[in-house]
Amino acid sequence: MIRVHGNTILTCVIFLQIFEIHFSYSIRKTFKMVLKLYLMPASPPSRNALMVINALGLEHEIKPVNVAKGEQKQPEYLAVNPRGKIPALQDGEYTIAESRAIACYLCNKYEKNSENRLYPTCPQARGVVDQLLYASENMNDMVIGYLNVGGVIFGSAVVDEEKVTELHKALALANTYLGSNNYVAGEHLTIADFFTASPFIMAEELHDFNDYTNYPAVKAWINRVRALPYFDKTNNEGLAAIAKMYKDKLAANKAAAK
Amino acid sequence: MVITLHSIPASPPGRCVVTTLHVLGLEFEEKHVNSVAKEHKKPAFLAMNPRGCFPVLTDGDFIIAESFAIAMYLCNKYENGENRLYPLEPEVRGKVDQLLFVGSVIYDSLLQYLNLLGVIYDGGVMAPEKLPSVYHALGLCEAFLQGDFMVEDHFTLADIFMSCGLYLLDLIDFNDYGAYPKTVAWLKRVRDWPYFKTANDKGMEELDNIYRPLLAKNTQNRSL
């Protein structure tokens, strides 16, 4: 009977895992299979996809899309995303679009097994995250509707402050989803936090929103997301750019309306 | 562990979940939401789904809302074997996920063009200014369809949810599909799929019986 010492088995397993990770990394480098993220830094969906890449520590190339020149409508880009929207991801030969789908794909493909996965694998925990990925689109519409980002930046709109009730509805929803947890899908950070917090951070940066009197838990959670080590490098430049665009244009629109 | 679906037969997203349940061979109870009495905006329902919409699914103690998320959950939990509605390989699953989000956009476009909720609950009429978004939706389907199905060579959640909004065009006998031959063939393929027929035919008829007369009445009222 062959006896193999437990520690020897463990050592072999660890060695093989390291070898496998190094080997696949080498293969990727050899065949230049670098992740390419097509994005518009000012845009929240682009930055949310980048949050996931940075959270997973994935090597990547940023490919800015020149929206002013209509690059997203050109055949080269439509080949990557027939919808002509940004962001999109290229992983070797594979292409995928829709920021939330990109987030899920990156986690499914690259997230290492751990207790606190950004995209849990247990059906129930994953279900909670998936529900929030969809619900957060609706919440995003409420907040962006109030800010009227498109109307201000590309048109002559000003903010209808009566619509701040929409922002408060979104805050109330976030508050309910948070419950007594530190993160929106439970006790640890998930991709749901990136997408759900994003519109409120936009309201803070673009319109200096700060009235969390009734929602201290939401404020604490938003700050928790902002404090993530990769938050600033992912968002600061893009947020600053869109905030400046928005504020300058809003002022101009207001002056023109007088 | 009982699965209960809170919805109404006429609800398109609800029927997408029913189709999924049928394909997975799962037994479930249907609890009809009294939408006319705004049951879904009352505290008991909001405790299940703070957004106050249906469908909502309960599986034992677990509660989940958002039709797409419900379908994904059911597949993650119960699906086995090959030719899955929600394939496991990250690249294939990614394509399905992408099209679920596109399907959500398409559904919203159709909802707005037909003003489904407005017509049924608020005496509203259609929104003709939204017609371009309908052609845009058809164009998207045409662009995404590489073969007979949206992803791979069999039915997936992408086929169920991408077609959901476009069926609503039957409510107004829309007929301008000339430029979208692949989409027409695909819509027929999904509609003829036995699981789909069983889950949808009656509900679609019910919705038709609700929407059509109300649209006619509301439109007439507007022109008086």
Chain B environment of A137 (Cβ under 8 Å): 104
**Residue B50 and residue A138: Cβ atoms within 8 Å?**
no
Closest-CA residue of chain A to B101: A98
Structure tokens at B32: 């009809």
ipTM above 0.90, yes or no: yes
Q: If pLDDT is split at 50, 70 and 90, which confidence band does B223 have? A: confident
A126 inside 8 A of chain B by CB: yes
Closest-CA residue of chain A to B79: A123
Summarised one tens digit per residue, pLDDT across range A70-83 is 999 999 999 999 99
B97 inside 8 A of chain A by CB: yes
CA dist., res. B68 & res. B45, Å (int): 19
- Provide φ and ψ at B145, rounded to 5°: -70, 110
The torsion angle over the Cα atoms of residues A231, A236, A239 and A242, rounded to 10 degrees, is -160
Closest-CA residue of chain B to A88: B98
Q: Positive or negative CA dihedral for B167, B168, B173, B179?
A: negative
Rounded to the nearest integer, the mean pLDDT of chain B is 96
**Residue B72 and residue A109: Cβ atoms within 8 Å?**
no
Q: If pLDDT is split at 50, 70 and 90, which confidence band does A210 have? A: very high
Tell me: pLDDT of A213 over 70: yes
Neighbours of A6 (CB within 10 A): 7
A92 inside 8 A of chain B by CB: no
Predicted local confidence at residue A33, as pLDDT: 67
B61 inside 8 A of chain A by CB: no
Nearest to A99 by CA among A153, A136, A144: A136
The torsion angle over the Cα atoms of residues B41, B43, B49 and B53, rounded to 10 degrees, is -10
A131 inside 8 A of chain B by CB: yes
**Residue B101 and residue A130: Cβ atoms within 8 Å?**
no
Across B50-70, average pLDDT: 98
Chain A environment of B70 (Cβ under 8 Å): 127
Summarised one tens digit per residue, pLDDT across range B63-74 is 999 999 999 999
Summarised one tens digit per residue, pLDDT across range B68-97 is 999 999 999 999 999 999 999 999 999 999
Predicted local confidence at residue B20, as pLDDT: 98
Query: Does an H or E element contain A36, and which?
Result: strand A35-39
Q: If pLDDT is split at 50, 70 and 90, which confidence band does A122 have? A: very high
Cα dist from A68 to A80, A143, B192, whole Å: 19, 25, 44
Predicted local confidence at residue A206, as pLDDT: 98
Work out the percent of chain B whose per-residue pLDDT is above 90: 96
- Provide φ and ψ at B59, rounded to 5°: -130, 95
Q: If pLDDT is split at 50, 70 and 90, which confidence band does A86 have? A: very high
Sheet with A94-97, strands from edge to edge, namely A60-64, A35-39, A88-91, A94-97
For the residues of chain B, what is the DSSP string, one character each?
Answer: --EEEEE-TT-HHHHHHHHHHHHTT---EEEE--TTTTGGGSHHHHTT-TT--S-EEEETTEEEESHHHHHHHHHHHH--SSS-SS-SSHHHHHHHHHHHHHHHHHHHHHHHHHTHHHHHHHS----GGGHHHHHHHHHHHHHH--SSSSSTTS--HHHHHHHHTGGGGGGGT----TT-HHHHHHHHHHHHSHHHHHHHHHHHHHHHHHHHHHHHHHHHHHH-
Tell me: pLDDT of B7 over 70: yes
Q: If pLDDT is split at 50, 70 and 90, which confidence band does B144 have? A: very high
Determine the residue type at A123: P
Tell me: pLDDT of A17 over 60: no
A177 inside 8 A of chain B by CB: yes
Predicted local confidence at residue A12, as pLDDT: 56
**Residue B97 and residue A97: Cβ atoms within 8 Å?**
no
Q: Are A96 and A102 in contact (CB under 8 A)?
A: yes
Which of A78, A105, A135 has its CB closest to that of B66?
A135
Q: Give residues with Cβ within 8 angstroms of B91, minimum separation 6.
A: A94, A105, A109
**Residue B102 and residue A104: Cβ atoms within 8 Å?**
no
Give alpha helix (H) positions in A114-230: 123-147, 149-154, 164-178, 191-207, 216-226
Across A170-198, average pLDDT: 98
CA dist., res. A110 & res. A195, Å (int): 19
CA dist., res. A204 & res. A236, Å (int): 13
Q: Are B113 and B138 in contact (CB under 8 A)?
A: no
Closest-CA residue of chain A to B61: A124
CA dist., res. B137 & res. A71, Å (int): 21
Strand, helix or coil for residue A204: helix
Closest CA–CA distance from residue B52 to any residue of chain A (Å): 11
The torsion angle over the Cα atoms of residues B135, B139, B140 and B144, rounded to 10 degrees, is 160
- The whole-angstrom distance between residue A103's C-alpha and the CA centroid of its chain comes to 7
Predicted local confidence at residue B1, as pLDDT: 73
CA dist., res. B129 & res. B150, Å (int): 28
Angle at A181 between CA B62 and CA A166, to 5 degrees: 90
**How large is the C-alpha radius of gyration of chain A?**
21
Predicted local confidence at residue B54, as pLDDT: 97
Only one residue has tokens 């402050």, namely A161
Across B32-48, average pLDDT: 96
CB contact residues (below 8 A), chain A span 14-53, against chain B = none
Neighbours of B193 (CB within 10 A): 18
Q: Give residues with Cβ within 8 angstroms of B37, minimum separation 6.
A: none
Closest-CA residue of chain B to A110: B90
CA dist., res. A135 & res. B65, Å (int): 9
Strand, helix or coil for residue A255: helix
Determine the residue type at B84: R
Tell me: pLDDT of A10 over 80: no
Neighbours of A150 (CB within 10 A): 11
Predicted local confidence at residue B224, as pLDDT: 79
